[in-house]
Amino acid sequence: MAQTWLITGSSSGFGRLLTEKLLARGDSVAATLRKVHALDGLKEQFGERLWVASLDVTDTPAIQQVTSRAFAEMGRIDVVVSNAGYGLVGAAEELSDEQIRQQIDTNLIGSIQVIRAVLPYLRRQGGGRILQVSSEGGQIVYPDFSLYHATKWGIEGFVEAVALEVASFGIEFTIVEPGPAKTSFSGGIVKSVPMAAYDNTPAGDVRRAIEAGSFVLKGDPDKMVQAMIDSVERTPAPMRLTLGSDAFDRVRAGLSKRLAELDAQKDVARSTELDDA
Across 148-177, average pLDDT: 98
Task: State the catalytic residue, choosing from 146, 148, 198, 231.
Answer: 148
Map out the domains of the chain with their CATH numbers. Answer: 4-246 (3.40.50.720)
Active site residue 148: yes
Average pLDDT, the chain: 95
In the predicted model, is pLDDT for residue 85 greater than 80?
Answer: yes
List Cα–Cα distances, 17 to 9, 20, 50, in angstroms.
11, 5, 14
In the predicted model, is pLDDT for residue 187 greater than 70?
Answer: no
The pLDDT of residue 276: 84
Rounded to the nearest 10°, the torsion over CA 185, 190, 193, 198 is -40
Active site residue 182: no
The pLDDT of residue 146: 97
Query: Using CA atoms, how far apart are residues 81 and 275, in angstroms rounded to an integer?
Result: 49
How many CB atoms neighbour CB 172 within 10 A? 22
In the predicted model, is pLDDT for residue 1 greater than 90?
Answer: no
The pLDDT of residue 213: 77
Q: Tens of pLDDT along 103-140?
A: 999 999 999 999 999 999 999 999 999 999 999 999 99
Across 177-193, average pLDDT: 81
In the predicted model, is pLDDT for residue 182 greater than 80?
Answer: no
Predicted TM-score (pTM) of this structure: 0.95
In the predicted model, is pLDDT for residue 185 greater than 90?
Answer: no
The pLDDT of residue 212: 83
User: Residue type for 70, please?
Assistant: A
Query: Using CA atoms, how far apart are residues 149 and 141, in angstroms rounded to an integer?
Result: 7
Active site residue 134: yes
Q: pLDDT category, 181, cuts 50, 70, 90?
A: confident
The pLDDT of residue 180: 87
The pLDDT of residue 210: 86
SS3 161: helix
Compare 159 and 35 and report the one with higher pLDDT: 159
Task: State the catalytic residue, choosing from 82, 134, 135, 231.
Answer: 134
Q: What are the E-state strand segments in the chain?
A: 4-7, 28-33, 50-54, 79-82, 88-89, 128-133, 171-178, 190-191, 240-243
Across 181-194, average pLDDT: 79
List Cα–Cα distances, 277 to 19, 95, 270, in angstroms.
55, 46, 11
In the predicted model, is pLDDT for residue 275 greater than 70?
Answer: yes
In the predicted model, is pLDDT for residue 214 greater than 90?
Answer: no
Task: State the catalytic residue, choosing from 121, 135, 152, 231.
Answer: 152
177-194 burial: b if 16+ Cβ within 10 Å, else e: bbbbbebebeeeeebbeb
